[in-house]
Amino acid sequence: MSRVVTSDMISSAIKIHRRLGPGLLESAYEACLAYELGRLGRKVERQRAVPLFYEEVKLDCGFRADLVVDGTVVVELKCKETLHPVDEAQLLSHLRLLNLPIGLLINFHVLVLKDGIKRMVNNYVEAAELPDNVPKIAEFSRSF
């Protein structure tokens, strides 16, 4: 199911990028992507709050996911020259805090959009919880 959702998202993002090109604000691409996905019948939440629980306390830190689609995929949009490891860490944190399986990091500030898309999977497990014979890998990601 997630593959179909991310495929729709990537196709919509490419369509938007072909029409508008790079150089706009992140909020413009967010609005366009939400519109396109809504036209495809996808449930889209914009600027969804990302709760942070520390011990038994829910903290309001103002974290927001740009888009959550069909309640299963988090989308973080960027408009910058180069993505940095902190951008990936942000998406992985949102996936973990929202307990969602799939995320897309989309950077619209590229000439060819496929060069700006990264799909990430949340399979975060605390290293202390893993058996000794399991490699301590906390994330998996794939670039397109």
- Residue numbers of the domain that contains 96: 2-143
pLDDT digits (tens, 9 = 90+) for 15-50: 999 999 999 999 999 999 999 999 999 999 999 988
Query: What average pLDDT does range 57-82 have in this prediction?
Result: 92
Q: Where are the beta strands (DSSP E) in 18-144?
A: 44-49, 52-54, 57-59, 64-69, 73-78, 102-107, 117-121, 140-143
The CA–CA distances, whole Å, from 114 to 17, 42, 47, 107 equal 10, 22, 24, 9
* pLDDT-based confidence at residue 1 (cuts at 50, 70, 90): low
For residues 29 and 18, the answer to whether their CB atoms sit within 8 Å is no
pLDDT digits (tens, 9 = 90+) for 47-68: 998 888 888 888 878 889 999 9
Number of domains observed in the structure of the chain: 1
